[in-house]
């Protein structure tokens, strides 16, 4: 299965500009040619979701790498607000938490949100990003019998 068949956007929500550069460079190294959207807090993602027109409309077609600790609207606040949206809108986003926190309670809290499909630790190298993309494909592609 080709990633591009299912994934229309990769959205990184993180307040660290250098992490955006690293993520984009690592995606390039593994030859991912999917639009990469850089956002710096949860408010920006909520604004992008409300505009809808530039985000793909099919289920799980937007892969979101969400940091938890950010100024303005952090990842936790975003998840609370996002969970109030219509289910049909929520299904357009495949959210994974990408954080430097190693707290087990934060991991459990993050994975308690139904829309969160994974919890990964920073820093993220190209192999880590490839692993997330592989997990994404395994979860969104139809399983053959």
**Mean of the pLDDT values across residues 86-112?**
91
pLDDT mean across residues, the chain: 89
Q: What is the pLDDT of residues 8-57, one digit of tens each?
A: 999 999 999 999 999 999 999 998 989 999 999 999 999 988 876 557 66
Domains defined for the chain, CATH in brackets = 3-140 (3.40.50.2300)
> What is the Cα Rg of the chain in Å?
14
The band of 59, judged by pLDDT with boundaries at 50, 70 and 90, is confident
**Residue recorded with tokens 């969160």:** 116
pTM score, whole prediction: 0.91
């Amino acid at each position: 299965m080709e990633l591009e068949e299912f994934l229309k956007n990769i959205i990184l929500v993180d307040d660290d500009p250098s992490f955006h550069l690293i993520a984009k460079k690592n995606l390039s190294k593994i030859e991912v040619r999917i639009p990469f959207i850089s956002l710096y807090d949860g408010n920006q993602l909520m604004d992008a979701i409300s505009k809808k027109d530039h985000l793909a409309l099919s289920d799980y077609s937007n892969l979101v790498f969400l940091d938890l600790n950010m100024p303005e609207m952090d990842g936790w606040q975003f998840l609370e607000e996002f969970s109030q949206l219509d289910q049909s809108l929520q299904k357009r986003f495949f959210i994974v938490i990408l954080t430097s926190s190693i707290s087990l309670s934060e991991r459990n809290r993050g994975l308690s949100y139904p829309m969160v499909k994974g919890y990964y630790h920073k820093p993220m190298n190209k192999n880590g990003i490839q692993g997330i993309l592989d997990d994404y494909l395994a979860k969104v592609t139809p399983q053959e019998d």
